Amino acid sequence: MKHLLSITDLSRTDVDDLFRLAADWKARVKAGVHATPLRGRSLALVFEKPSLRTRVTFEVGMAQLGGAPVYLAAQDIGLGRRESVTDVARNLGRWVDAVVARTFEQATVERLARHAGIPVINGLSDHEHPCQALADFFTLWERGLDLAKLRVAWVGDGNNVCHSLVLLAALTGTETRLACPPGYEPARAVLETARALGGRVEVTADVREAADGADVLYTDVWISMGQEAERERRLEAFSRYQLNERVLGLAKPGVVVMHCLPAHRGEEITDAVLDGPQSIVLDQAENRLHVQKAILLTLLGASSARP
């Protein structure tokens, strides 16, 4: 693995290795055992979009590993406007050891990777959010669940998070059923790639069909960053796709509820479900830190270091 731009950059072995590494570091750090294998290394965070979880977990994770994070907001460098993406990549490649890019276009992340000469990590693009999906499936894995026997039901927009989940599910043997309003399904190319990887994925417009017997219920906001002008149209299209107590009742009794956050309470999910006993959203958020540290250690060649 030279970069993490998409889940398709990973093999099943890569996923298993990342999960074991994340679990090892999580357990040892929680036991008070610390090490700094990335001392003297640096990480640039190039963000076109605002962020809470991605920024904090990468900054704190890099610091815990002994390295130095450098945050660059959109107005700092004017990526693709003040200076070309190629030139930004070539400069960063001379100064830092890796880049996390949070961009509007997937093509921007790919261009950075093509020209930087150092590892580039997709911290979210309009097409994928691989770090989120890895943290999500790690959260299920660490609960002792057999990923190959799970059925994940996605309720809502077939967006970037959905794309990465579908692709990672294909790698791990997890079945996915997606309930999306017509016109808001995942990209056909993503579904074709998932199925070519052996993925079991079905798309329906019926929430009941997707949620029936599910082990995991997952949703995301109806209006993502950059889609604010579509608010009214999206609210109408998604009005029947709320993850609420009624939908929860369709799934298996032990179902867990996931959300990548931030949540728009009362829109795509109710307070009772988001804050209820079956919600594991804060575990997902915490595990961004541990999984991303495993990604950094792997890409920077320090995966064999022990805490």
Catalytic residue among 220, 259, 290, 292: 220
Determine the straight-line distance between the first and last CA of the chain, rounded to whole angstroms: 22
**Is the CB of residue 180 less than 8 Å from the CB of residue 205?**
yes
Q: Phi/psi class of residue 163: alpha, beta or left (left: φ > 0; alpha: ψ in -120 to 50)?
A: alpha
Q: Is 220 a catalytic residue?
A: yes
Catalytic residue among 131, 162, 180, 260: 260
Catalytic residue among 129, 163, 259, 290: 129
Backbone angles phi, psi at 169, to 5 degrees: -60, -40
Q: Is 215 a catalytic residue?
A: no
Catalytic residue among 157, 288, 290, 292: 288
Q: Is 260 a catalytic residue?
A: yes
3 state SS for the chain = CCCECCHHHCCHHHHHHHHHHHHHHHHHHHCCCCCCCCCCCEEEEEECCCCCHHHHHHHHHHHHCCCEEEEEEHHHHCECCCECHHHHHHHHHHHCCEEEEECCCHHHHHHHHHHHCCCEEECCCCCCCHHHHHHHHHHHHHCCCCHHHCEEEEECCCCHHHHHHHHHHHHHCCEEEEECCCCCCCCHHHHHHHHHCCCEEEEECCHHHHHCCCCEEEECCCCCCCCHHHHHHHHHHCCCCCECHHHHCCCCCCCEEEECCCCCECCCECHHHHCCCCECHHHHHHHHHHHHHHHHHHHCCCCCCCC
Q: Is 290 a catalytic residue?
A: no
Catalytic residue among 41, 55, 102, 234: 102
What is the set of active-site residues?
102, 129, 132, 220, 260, 288
